[in-house]
Structure 1
Amino acid sequence: MTDTELATRAPESDAQETNTPSPSESPAAAAAPPAPAPENPTLSEHCTADRPTPTGQSSTGEITKLNDVDVYISKPADYPHTPSRLLLLLTGGTGLRSINNQIQADRFATEGYVVVMPDLFAGDPAPNSSAAAEVALEASSGSFLDTFKIKAVETAKSFLIDMWLARHTEEKVMPILERVLEGARDEFADAVSHGGGVYAVGYCFGARYILLLAAERTKKGQGQQQGDEEANRPATVAPQIKAGALAHATLVSKGDFVGLKSPLSVVCVENDPMFPDEVRIAGEEYMSENGVEHEVQVYPGVPHGFAVVGDYDDANIKTAQVTAFDQMLKWINEH
């Protein structure tokens, strides 16, 4: 894999690589726009399907509207009598109605955060293998051999994922986040004030948007003549979060690190094709060279998606899940 490639294939599939233009890696490029998503990306099965919900656990928050966007809200038991901070939680492809995602939000709420988890996909969560199987069966005949049926399911899954990603681009997701942030700053002004800003955590698909919200970005549609002419800089948008944490990101390019300002904690999976070493190392180098406070932890022997609530038989994965949560919580607590 070269420096201009972004790996986004599922671990159970053959490698699928997409060439993207090389972003500027100059330290001076402090306000560059995010790099475009790859043309034909795919997501891991862990991004589109939940693990079994841990026995005896259920969610405690509620789904409501915030600035006309569906959101899951989870609050500390003693809020608002006890001051709390505001946390934006961005999910993977399983989305708002995933019980596991809701329990993840609840866990941060028990630690003193008012958690706002928006529906990034407007009621259209990512298709999983079950949906792909239905499509494949409709397209196949009973005379197909099992191997061809399996291939049909994989092809259908890839097709459905690609179509889904085409419906949920940065141009669609960022306006949703902006509306939610606007509504949250108004609805939970006390929590924003208490924390000195908005905190954010993100997983899989949502992790990339933590990077975008933590960066100073060029205002779209504005050239240098509309910005600070004296400094010869384009107009920019300040970071939208005070500090953030992200786990097993997907669809991230090196350009997504350019312009970062807010402190970040990064949870990575060892040998993760969703977030390859080339991208991770380039991101670490950029943050170090540009004075961005950060930490990066790579977890061996765990699958992509491990940090989200879900039951595993492997004790190592269970332990890593707890450790990753503690890493992310400690980071936002300390900032």
Structure 2
Amino acid sequence: MTMTLIRLLTVALVGVASVLAKKPASSCPAVSNEGTPTGEFKNVSGIQIYHSYPGETANASNAILFISDIYGVPLLQNKLLADSLARAGYLVIFPDLFKGDAVPVSSPEGTLNLTEWRTRHPTEEIDSIVASTITYIRSELGVQRIGGVGYCFGGKYVPRFLADGKGIDVGFIAHPSGLLATEIQSIAGPISIAAGELDTAFNVTGRRAAEDILTAKNTTYQTTLYAGAPHGFAVRVDLNIPRQKYAKESSFVQAIRWFDAWL
């Protein structure tokens, strides 16, 4: 058995043991696919931020920063996903990255030409919103450790802020788009990745490159590949297709277990 395989097995066993010690798997809530959002919006320094609150027994010293896909805060499934994370015991903070200019929910992602839209929301502007939200979480909410979840578009920004000193301590990303090797290389904290077999934005080449980089860095990481899962599966799926339904539900549990173990 190679030393790399021994290391990966050790990391996995330590993670499982930590999760079992902190929270039984049966206590993890199910992800909501329909219903009415329970969080609330607050204007924080000109940014609309969706706050989803956990129960009274939650650990007030940590929180999850939700970095969304291109459909942003208007998408019902995004708000329900934030609420689901909150039911698992985490304060969830979900900023409007696009200042009211999210891609319309009625626009299928696979048919979009996003070139012009992206020019209105460059990386440096998104970085600024994420950074100011992290400052708000730490300074005004008194949070000590921050977990970051990133879906599609947001899957690029969790690694950027999981770099040393950037503000996110533990990360989970699903079907990231636009994620660069240099951004993976800069990751300094534990990272969990949910990938879809049918996702062309984070394909087999991208997945293997990410794993090679993380392995070489001796990073604490997890990658899970879901069969039959398309891009966007952790947020928006056809619930009538068993593989897609399973991928969404299981990737949610993957995120919760990761934060329970490392956050």
Give the corresponding residue for 1:104.
Answer: 81
Distance in structure 1 (CA, Å) of the matches to 2:163 and 2:43: 27
Taking the aligned partners of 2:172 and 2:127, their CA distance within structure 1 comes to: 18
- Tell me if the contact between 1:253 and 1:279 (Cα under 8 Å) persists in the aligned partners: no
Alpha-carbon displacement from aligned partner over 1:33-60 (angstroms, at most 9, x marks no partner)? xxxxxxxxxxxxxxxxxxxx945x1110
What is the aligned partner in structure 2 of residue 241 from structure 1? 168
Q: 2:90 aligns with which of 104, 113, 117?
A: 113
Once the two structures are superposed, residues 5-57 of structure 1 have per-residue CA deviations (whole angstroms, 9 ceiling, x without a partner) of: xxxxxxxxxxxxxxxxxxxxxxxxxxxxxxxxxxxxxxxxxxxxxxxx945x1
Q: Does 1:164 pair with 2:133?
A: no
Q: Provide structure 1 residue ranges, at least 5 long, that are not aligned to the other structure.
A: 1-52, 133-153, 217-237
Listed as ranges, the gaps of 5+ residues in structure 2 are 1-31
Q: What amino acid maps onto 2:115 in structure 1?
A: D
**Contact 1:73/1:116 (CA < 8 Å) preserved in 2?**
yes
1:324 is aligned to 251
Residue 152 (structure 2) aligns with: 204
* Structure 1: distance between partners of 2:107 and 2:193: 31
1:258 counterpart = 2:185: yes
Letter in 1 for 2:44: L
Seen in structure 2, the aligned counterparts of structure 1 residues 299 and 198 have a Cα distance that, compared at 3 Å, is: same
2:70 maps to 93
Which structure would you say has the larger Rg?
A: 1
Shift of 1:174: 0.3
Give the Å deviation of 1:255. Answer: 2.1
Deviation string 1:184-243 (CA, Å, 9 cap, x unpaired) is 112220xx23xxx11111100001101101123xxxxxxxxxxxxxxxxxxxxx242110
2:154 aligned counterpart, secondary structure? helix
> Is 1:176 aligned with 2:129?
yes
**CA pair 130-120 structure 1, distance change in 2 beyond 3 A:** closer
Q: Which residue of 1 aligns with 2:19?
A: none
Runs of 4+ in 1 over 4 A off after TM superposition: 127-132
Distance across 2 between alignment mates of 1:272 and 1:318 = 16
Q: How much does 1:78 deviate? A: 1.9
- Residue number in structure 1 paired with 2:44: 66
CA displacement 1:272-331 (0-9 Å, x = unmatched)? 211122222111111111111101111111121111155521122112211111111101
1: CA distance, partners of 2:199 / 2:63: 31
8 Å Cα contact 2:39/2:52 also seen in 1:
yes
Task: Name which structure has the greater RCO, CA cutoff 8 Å, separation 6+.
Answer: 1
Aligned 8 A contact 1:104 1:309 in 2? no
**Percent identity (aligned):** 29
1:84 offset after TM fit, Å?
Answer: 5.7
Verify the 8 A CA contact 2:199 2:229 in the aligned structure 1.
Answer: no
| In the alignment, structure 1 residue 186 sits paired with structure 2 residue 186 | no
Conserved 8 A contact 1:87-1:198:
yes
Does the Cα contact within 8 Å between 2:238 and 2:244 map onto a contact in 1?
A: no
User: Cα RMSD between the aligned structures?
Assistant: 2.1
Provide closer, same or farther for how the CA distance between residues 179 and 307 of structure 1 changes in structure 2, counting only shifts above 3 A: same
Structure 1: which amino acid aligns with 2:134? Answer: L
What letter is aligned with 2:46?
A: D
Query: What's the counterpart of residue 10 of structure 2?
Result: none
**1:62 is aligned with what amino acid?**
E
In 2 relative to 1, CA 275–130 (structure 1 residues): closer, same or farther, beyond 3 Å?
A: closer
Work out whether residues 210 and 244 of structure 1, in 8 Å CA contact, stay in contact via their aligned partners in 2. Answer: yes
- Which one has a larger percent helix, Structure 1 or Structure 2? 2
Contact 1:215 1:239 in 2 (8 A): yes
Count of aligned pairs between the two proteins:
230
Which residue number in structure 2 is paired with residue 214 of structure 1?
162
Secondary structure of the residue aligned to 1:240 is coil
Report the residue type matching 2:172 in the other structure. A
Give the drift of 1:61.
Answer: 0.2
Q: Distance in 2 between matches of 1:130 and 1:203?
A: 17
- The answer as to whether partners of 2:49 and 2:94 remain within 8 angstroms in 1 is yes
Q: TM-score, normalised by structure 1?
A: 0.64
Partners of 1:319 and 1:312 in 2: CA distance? 9
Q: Deviations over 1:248-288 (max 9, x none)?
A: 11111222212211110000011421112222211111111
In 2, Cα distance between the equivalents of 1:128 and 1:263?
A: 32
Provide the TM-score with structure 2 as the length reference.
0.81
Quote how far apart the aligned CAs of 1:168 are. 1.1
The farther-off stretch of 115-124 and 308-317 is 308-317
The equivalent residue for 2:101 is 124
